[in-house]
Amino acid sequence: MTVKFIDLFAGIGGFRLGLEQSGFKCVFSSEIDKACKDTYFANYGEMPKGDIGEINPKEIENFDILSAGFPCQPFSISGKQLGFEDTRGTLFFDILRIIKIKQPKVVLLENVKHLVHHDKGNTLKVILENLRQLNYEVNWKILNASDFGVPQNRERIIIVASKDKKFEFDKIKTVKRPVLKDFLDTEADFEFLDDTEYSLLVNPTVQKSGLIFAGYRNKAIRKAGVRPNTEHLSRVHKQPNRIYSAEGVHPTLPSQETSGRFFILVDGKVRKLTINECYRITGFPEDFNKISSLGELYKQIGNSVCVPMVAELGKEIKNQFFSSNRNAVVREMQIREEKRENDTYGSITVNL
């Protein structure tokens, strides 16, 4: 029994790597960005289709799992009746359009943690409600990459929708949080900061997340209106100026970044993470082909999903939805296949 998935908003294939590690087979991908598409091709030998808005779901091979780490957009009709109409014109609408026609057994969505509060909670509410209206049982949870074997504090909302029953997030296995220093290169063309360019804290603070705030960069600071002897605080409060210790975890690699923003304290020196280290702490394999410019590579990894987290989700999706009674699962897959062929689902009105 081959469980098939599609990789929407594919980026550089974080979902693909993770779900393939769970034993699933990718049958379709879509990504609009040229540099991401080229990277995807260089690593999986498949050029993703482009703009999701131009994809006709009927041209996609049938599949069991839809995965998508889609960009977060507000829905236009805030507070009004929730439904398909509300999402029109958004990228989530395109996901729904594909779900309606293809009726996958499982939908796996990922987004930034902030989605929970986006548009005062309305965005998440619309997403969940629309999935429920398509007869899915929906559940969601905030997961952190640092619970899946990589030293990066990267929290993401994961939404799992299934035709069967609610996904039980409690069954997901987490591991002890690793430390950054065990993931670092020992030799590379490191970009160090000169001693005069930073200040270290006498008592570094260990945060609940595992981040160890160790110092800050001595960048130009705002002096106007600042109380005497508190000038350094305005540096400290600027997240990019903070220096974290390699004895803890690394902060979230940001998505809009083209130069690698964060500096770390390692063995008494302060340096930037190398691009290889960025990919490693997101769970990408050492032999991943990084063919884009350095600026694009930083952006791509900052946008990517944590691979071992997806692999663990895939393992649990398999346990909970695809392995209880093999014969029943195979029969159910056949029924869905027949229904799709007879276009039973086509009675739902969808504008293509």
Ligand X SMILES: C[S@@+](CC[C@H](N)C(=O)[O-])C[C@H]1O[C@@H](n2cnc3c(N)ncnc32)[C@H](O)[C@@H]1O
Residues in contact with ligand X by the rule CB under 6 A:
9-12, 14-15, 30-33, 36, 51-53, 69, 71, 91, 303-305
Complex with ligand X: residue 98 or 180, whichever CB lies closer: 98
In a 13 Å sphere around the CA of 101, the CA atoms on its Cβ side amount to: 16
Is residue 113 within 8 Å of 72, Cβ to Cβ? no
Instruction: Give the DSSP per-residue string, 203-265.
Output: EEEEPTTS-EEEEEE------TTPPTT-HHHHHHTSGGGEEEETTSPEEPPPTT-SS---EEE
The nearest distance, CB 204 to ligand X, in angstroms, is: 32
- Among 36, 72, 278, 306, the active-site one is 72
Query: What is the distance between the alpha carbons of residues 247 and 291, in angstroms, rounded to a whole number?
Result: 31
Closest CB to ligand X among residues 30, 162:
30
The residue among 48 and 204 lying less far from ligand X, judged by its C-beta, is 48
Q: To the nearest whole angstrom, how small is the minimum distance from the Cβ of residue 68 to ligand X?
A: 8
Nearest to 277 by CA among 161, 152, 96, 95: 152
CB of 304 to ligand X, least distance (A): 4
Residue (of 145, 208, 152, 153) closest to 174 by Cα position? 145
Shortest distance, position 51 Cβ to ligand X, whole Å: 4
Supply the minimum distance, in Å, between the C-beta of residue 12 and ligand X: 4
Contact 216, 236 (CB under 8 A): yes
Which C-beta is closer to ligand X: that of 215 or that of 308? 308
The pair phi, psi for residue 117, each rounded to 5°, is -105, -5
Neighbouring CB atoms inside 10 A of 21's CB total: 17
Q: Are 343 and 48 in contact (CB under 8 A)?
A: no
Phi, psi of 214 (to 5 degrees): -110, -15
Known catalytic residue at 36: no
Query: How many beta carbons lie within 10 A of that of residue 59, not counting itself?
Result: 8
Token match 């260089």: residue?
Answer: 42
Instruction: Report, in Å, the least distance between residue 251 CB and ligand X.
Output: 18
* Residue closer to ligand X (CB basis): 15 or 216: 15
Q: List the one residue out of 10, 14, 7 whose CA is nearest residue 282.
A: 14
Nearer to ligand X among residue 31 and residue 316 (C-beta): 31
Active site (catalytic) residues: 72
